[in-house]
Chains A and B, each alone.
Chain A
Amino acid sequence: MAGVWEVFRRERAGAAMQHAGSVAAPDERFAKIYAREQYGRRGESDALWLVPRDAVQEIDEFVDEFDLKYRRVDGYSIRERLREARELAGTSLREVPGETDA
């Protein structure tokens, strides 16, 4: 086959475009028809996008050499600080429902 096209679909209005799969086809004209058939013949998609596989660029390097934790949810330990603060203020140590560590 001449090429592979990645197919993206939107399940219903308001939903995000999601990767659905891929079709092999001689060219774009064929790819369009094939994508419509494979991912739309049962009316299961609100919209379809077709992207040649070559056009998709992957980003897969994520570098954090100096541990910039403030950018992540595990970068804070609120619970500890709160416990300390309450002790100092003499207020209750009871667990408050819904409180988490961030």
Chain B
Amino acid sequence: MLEVKGLNAWYGESHILHGIDFEVREGEVVTLLGRNGAGKTTTLKSIMGLVPRREGSIKFRGAELVRLMPHHIARHGIAFCPEERGIFGSLSVTENLLLPPVVAPGGLGIDEIYTLFPNLKERARTAHGTRLSGGEQQMLAIARILRTGAKLLLLDEPTEGLAPVIVQQIGRTIREIKARGFTVLLVEQNFRFAQTVADRHYVVEHGRVIDMIPNHRREASMDKLHEYLGV
């Protein structure tokens, strides 16, 4: 579904990505693992078109995305959930939920979303999105992109800074949306969480993909992983 080949990206003069190669097949949950500064977030942002200078190839269902603007990339069926969650304080919770436009048929309806995220239904009347707790904001950030009909979801560190109970909830949510046919590309530093949801892991270091570990073979690769992630 997604094929990234030789992706290079720059922020101004800084050359962050030095030729990223990986692929995501339809229906998979794939993680990009690595330490801080490895280039994981930059990779997601490059796919989304949010990094000004990028070169290489990003093919989504055969279409080349690397020269496109973010709103065109979204319309191809990719949705982004940023690291900071990006909940808008000047919008109510419901307005936040309904903000991303529908880009394709097949997205979840409002009722389905409230079934998946019952605490969002409770908080729907909150006037400012940023009044929600961190966990609730993360749920809202994921919920709103499920409505759009996008088939590939880019999630940037969804468990960062959240309590273990919420982290488990997010894990359940990701497994649930995978069961409904969504494809997820996940950036994570927390391997313990990543192994509960992912099919495959790519390790990113210094702007390159240096390894790929299928989840079912992770036991054998534990030493390598400890070294890569510095854990």
* A and B co-occur in one complex: no
User: Which residues on A are within 8 Å of B, measured CB to CB?
Assistant: none
User: Which residues on B are within 8 Å of A, measured CB to CB?
Assistant: none
